[in-house]
Amino acid sequence: MTATKPKSLARSGSLSSLCVMYGAAIAFGTTLVVSNGIGPAGAGEFFRLMALFAIATSTAVFGADTGLVRTISAQNALGRYSAIPRLIRYAVLPPLALSLGITAVACIYSVAVPMPHEYAVALRMSALFVIVAAVMSVYFGALRGLNHVVTFTVMQNVLLPTLRFGAIALVVFASGHLLDLVFAWTLPVAATALLTLWVVESYMPRSKDRPQSEAAATTPQESAHSFWTFSSARGVATIVETILEWIDVLTVTTILGPAAGGVYGAVNRCVRVGTMVEHTGRIVTGPSISAALATQNVDRARQIFLATTRVLTAISWPFYLTLAAFGPTLLGFFGKGFEEGAGILWVICPAAMLSMSAGGVQSILLMSGKSRWQLLNKLSSLAVAIILNVALVPLWGLYGAVTAWASALLIDTFLAGYQVFRLVGIRTSLTEMAPALTLGALVPLGCSFVVLTVVGQGLLGLVLYVILLAPSYVALLYYFRTQLGIERFLASRKGGGKGAGTRSALAHQLSIQGENTMSKLSATTDAPAVSLREQLHRVWRHKMIVIITIVVCTLIAVAFSFLAPPKYTAKSSVLVNPLVTDPAAGGNANSLKVDISTESRAAGSREVADKAADNLRSEGVDTDSKLTDKLMNSTKVVPTSQTAVLDIEVSDSNAKRSAQYANAIAKAYLEVRQNNLKETITDSVKKLDAQIKQLEDEDKNNNGNANSAKISQMRERRNQIQLTSTVGGRVLTEAQPPKKATGLGHRKTALAGVGTGLLLGVLIAYVYDRMMRTVGYSDRLKDLGIPVQTVRPRSSDEDTLLLMRRIGSPDGNLRASNISGIVIVSDSPALADQLHRQLYRTIPSGKAYFTDYPALSKVLEHYSPEQVIESNEIPMVINLADEAPLSTLLRLSEACRVCLVPVGELSSRAQVRELFSHLRTLENTVSIAIFMDTDPEKEKVDGATA
């Protein structure tokens, strides 16, 4: 495998941005599933474990991933490929040791410190996966350093979050237990880690060291000491960054309770969706900036920084303004109670916008070796965050936490920006940034003002706002693409890399002069980068597949919405009474608290469902023999955070029956709880009576009253137990038959069908396009790295003239261009004949001798192909079609130095690829595929005429 070649920054950026947007979206969806499934309190507990897992992983990795990004990309740029395996060994061993230590400490802590059993088991389980997560993160850094940014982004932002989303959705649907959620969150890490190890091994360079610049001779070799000098500072900075990300969530959960932590965590996740754009910019530009600075190309580093800053501003500002303007509606998607955090968005969103407008200052600091500066910046921010969180959260609640977050973010941005602008010397001007800042602010503000004034903040307003903003903003970005620098940024796809330079040179140097240069060009032609726009264009070629899929999915969705039975959800609320005394503790006074999580599981147990089913059968409501299973599958018990209230929700196809089921579950739960209390009291009284009798018998046998005091205390305790209330609670709100069915409704279901059909249709069209065995269109040849020229039959020989210019003979005088001849070979004789005739019309009379293989084969019986070509004073244009053996074809092509391969839509892609694999072995030979855009019927007529 050759060394990793530089890739187009624009292509990597576009594909990586799509992957990161997908990852952010599915992570957002995961948060939605968790919050809607287990409520604010459960979500708060889950966010706390997520925070601890993230901090532990960052501590174990200790910056080794970023160290690999910097060192591997730098060594690649300098041509030192043999150093890369050694760097990976430097990076893996310390994180392994650290992760093992962290796991041991967490396990000991969970056993030594009193805590709920479920939480302790969940803590130990997540700690075990810290080892796997650390190794995965280190190899992620290796992928980035090898400049396989898209592969890394797919692994981190597509594969891992998708697996997590699927696992968590199943757990929330099945049980919703904290332990199961943690298992669903951590298990996908193992699968992703294994795949990452295999991918990194396959991408490792195998070629010998080749110094790429004079800097390679003066730059010292990377050692373990130098690697960890950089990485350890970055490791502390990463740990500090992770703590900064989660400290406010942990503080809010600890001081204000899990429910408040869940609300604040939802806000945190929303804002972090926007910061993923900056994270993508750091991933995409990191290796390129490091390579530019390693080769002392400061101007290139500044161009990358400016382009990144513009993109960050153009994308992030509309997002944050939308989040602030429609906060209540967006947070409402998380479930009931989460909209309480909408107000704090007006504090953090402006701060995040200012941070984004500073651009990729963090990447510049890291890739220029200033990790210690960044460490000091992060430590300053962390100190501010800790002080303000401790001081303001007890006073201002959520607003105190978000004030601490915004202050820490702005301090970090100001310090990093000052260091990059003043000390490193890379900066942008206000004039360069003005278009992006203006559009990013004014367009969303104008659209939101209109919608909020006319409609309001509701769901309808949000939909109208998106419909108004999206097309107008995209149109303005396109109109001002020059001022925004978008054209220049995208132009790097065509002119930025080695492959582009090679292709450009190939277009101008295909004459026979300079044989060595042409040999290298022909041998090293690679598949060009395929942009997102080109991929979409290829899918659009099969638009009928997309349209048919949309129609089918829409019809299925509409049919389902009409044929599927409606679902009605009724809710009954129950107040759970605390115990005044605890019979199990011998009648001691209880703390008057209810473990609402335990009670919610009890209400959803089979014992309660059995009791409710018996009651419903006795009342004649439902006599189904499988009623218990039906109730368990259709019942959802939701504990209300920081209260003793349970919401019992039951779904059924009949509105009245759903209400009857919900009330039956509520009644059965209270009855079961009351019966359990009575049994506990009875058992406790019996035990005390037995103990009293035993003491009385001892005094009777001893003729004394030594145990009289104990007997008196135990009788008093028995009286207290007998006075314990056995009322388990009461129904606060009885379920009423719902008036409307739950679900999307006909219109929304149809829209969902359209959306599903669009996604599925695009996927089917793309897979069909990739699996086509025929050539189909010219771009598929470019995918194979085959030079291609399109020749249309009705182009009045214009395309043929362009072809002649490409092979180095624009006037058709082959001999003057040192071309000995042209070989035409194709699996379609009709296409070969057509190109043969078009060349005959284009090449001036007397400048070439036109022949075919049947006529030439007689001469080849006596002379070699080389002798035939060299002995002919006039260059030959030979139509071999599909008749000549492969050896003869190759020898003639090498002697003529030009081989043209006509192909059509129905030509075999595999055969063309195999043929060019042989042609590439020829020295000083230009081989080009000629895509003949020909009508099949006309092709048959032309073939017959010939």
* pLDDT, tens only, 741-758: 776 677 777 887 888 788
Are 33 and 145 contained in the same domain? Answer: yes
Are 279 and 422 contained in the same domain? Answer: yes
CB 810 within 8 A of CB 800: no
Are 390 and 352 contained in the same domain? Answer: yes
Please give the Cα distance from 669 to 631 (Å, whole number). 13
Phi (first) and psi of residue 878, to 5 degrees: -105, 125
Identity of the amino acid at 941 = V
Residue in the structure block whose two tokens are 């469902």: 609
Residue in the structure block whose two tokens are 């980068």: 529
Are 232 and 142 contained in the same domain? Answer: yes
621 Cβ neighbours under 8 A, 6+ residues apart: 657, 660, 664
162-166, 202-206, 695-699, 728-732 — which is least confidently predicted? Answer: 202-206
Average pLDDT taken over every residue of the chain: 78
- Residue 732 three-state SS: strand
Please give the Cα distance from 218 to 211 (Å, whole number). 11
136-145, 198-207, 212-221, 717-726 — which is least confidently predicted? Answer: 212-221
pLDDT at 511 over 80: no
DSSP H helices, 257-337, are 258-294, 298-325, 327-332
- Which of 707, 733, 759 corresponds to the end of one domain? 733
Identity of the amino acid at 484 = L
pLDDT at 211 over 60: no
* pLDDT, tens only, 139-151: 888 888 887 777 8
- Which of 704, 733, 762 corresponds to the end of one domain? 733
Assess if residue 112 is contained within a domain.
yes
Q: What is the mean pLDDT of residues 899-909?
A: 89
More confident residue, 816 or 282: 816
What's 221's DSSP letter? P
Are 545 and 613 contained in the same domain? Answer: no
Query: So what's the pLDDT on residue 19?
Result: 75
Cα of first residue to Cα of last residue in the chain, in angstroms, is 47
Strand 898-903 relative to strand 876-881: parallel, antiparallel, unpaired? unpaired
Are 660 and 764 contained in the same domain? Answer: no
Query: So what's the pLDDT on residue 237?
Result: 72
Are 761 and 863 contained in the same domain? Answer: no
Q: What is the dihedral of CA 609, 611, 615, 618, to 10 degrees?
A: 110
In the structure, what pLDDT confidence band is assigned to residue 403 with cuts at 50, 70 and 90?
very high
* pLDDT, tens only, 585-605: 554 444 446 677 678 778 888
pLDDT at 885 over 80: yes
In the structure, what pLDDT confidence band is assigned to residue 221 with cuts at 50, 70 and 90?
low
Assess if residue 218 is contained within a domain.
no
Are 393 and 260 contained in the same domain? Answer: yes
Strand 898-903 relative to strand 821-825: parallel, antiparallel, unpaired? parallel
Q: What is the DSSP string of 828-893?
A: -HHHHHHHHHHHHHHSPTTS-EEEEHHHHHHHHTTS-HHHHHHH-SS-EEEEEETTS-HHHHHHHH
Bridge partners, residue 589, by sequence:
581
Bridge partners, residue 637, by sequence:
648
Are 753 and 826 contained in the same domain? Answer: no
Assess if residue 106 is contained within a domain.
yes
Please give the Cα distance from 398 to 44 (Å, whole number). 14
Residue in the structure block whose two tokens are 């153009």: 314
Q: What is the mean pLDDT of residues 237-246?
A: 82
Assess if residue 569 is contained within a domain.
no
Highest mean pLDDT among 416-425, 692-701, 866-875: 866-875
DSSP H helices, 509-605, are 515-523, 532-540, 543-563, 596-603
Please give the Cα distance from 881 to 888 (Å, whole number). 12
Assess if residue 2 is contained within a domain.
no
Q: What is the CA angle 280-286-288, rounded to 5?
A: 120
Tell me which residue range forms the domain holding 274: 9-208+224-494+523-529
In the structure, what pLDDT confidence band is assigned to residue 435 with cuts at 50, 70 and 90?
confident
Query: So what's the pLDDT on residue 350?
Result: 92
pLDDT at 501 over 50: no
CATH of the domain at 820: 3.40.50
126-135, 268-277, 422-431 — which is least confidently predicted? Answer: 422-431
Long-range CB contacts for residues 691-694, cutoff 8 Å, separation at least 24: 692/718
Query: So what's the pLDDT on residue 219?
Result: 56
Query: So what's the pLDDT on residue 901?
Result: 93
Query: So what's the pLDDT on residue 823?
Result: 93
181-185, 395-399, 482-486, 751-755 — which is least confidently predicted? Answer: 482-486
The closest of 415, 319, 342, 325 to 372, measured between CA atoms, is: 415
Q: What is the DSSP string of 684-698?
A: HHHHHHHHHHHHHHH
| Domains identified in the chain, total number | 4
Please give the Cα distance from 115 to 113 (Å, whole number). 6
Are 816 and 688 contained in the same domain? Answer: no
What's 81's DSSP letter? T
More confident residue, 106 or 293: 106
* pLDDT, tens only, 339-394: 888 889 999 999 999 988 887 787 787 777 676 677 778 888 888 888 888 888 88
Please give the Cα distance from 12 to 3 (Å, whole number). 18
Q: What is the DSSP string of 19-75?
A: HHHHHHHHHHHHHHHHHHHHHHHHHHHHHHHHHHHHHHHHHHHTTHHHHHHHHHHHH
Are 761 and 787 contained in the same domain? Answer: no
CB 874 within 8 A of CB 848: yes
Query: So what's the pLDDT on residue 7?
Result: 45
Are 188 and 337 contained in the same domain? Answer: yes
Assess if residue 762 is contained within a domain.
yes
Assess if residue 506 is contained within a domain.
no
* pLDDT, tens only, 671-683: 888 888 888 888 8
Assess if residue 3 is contained within a domain.
no
Count the helices and strands in the chain (H runs, E runs).
37, 12
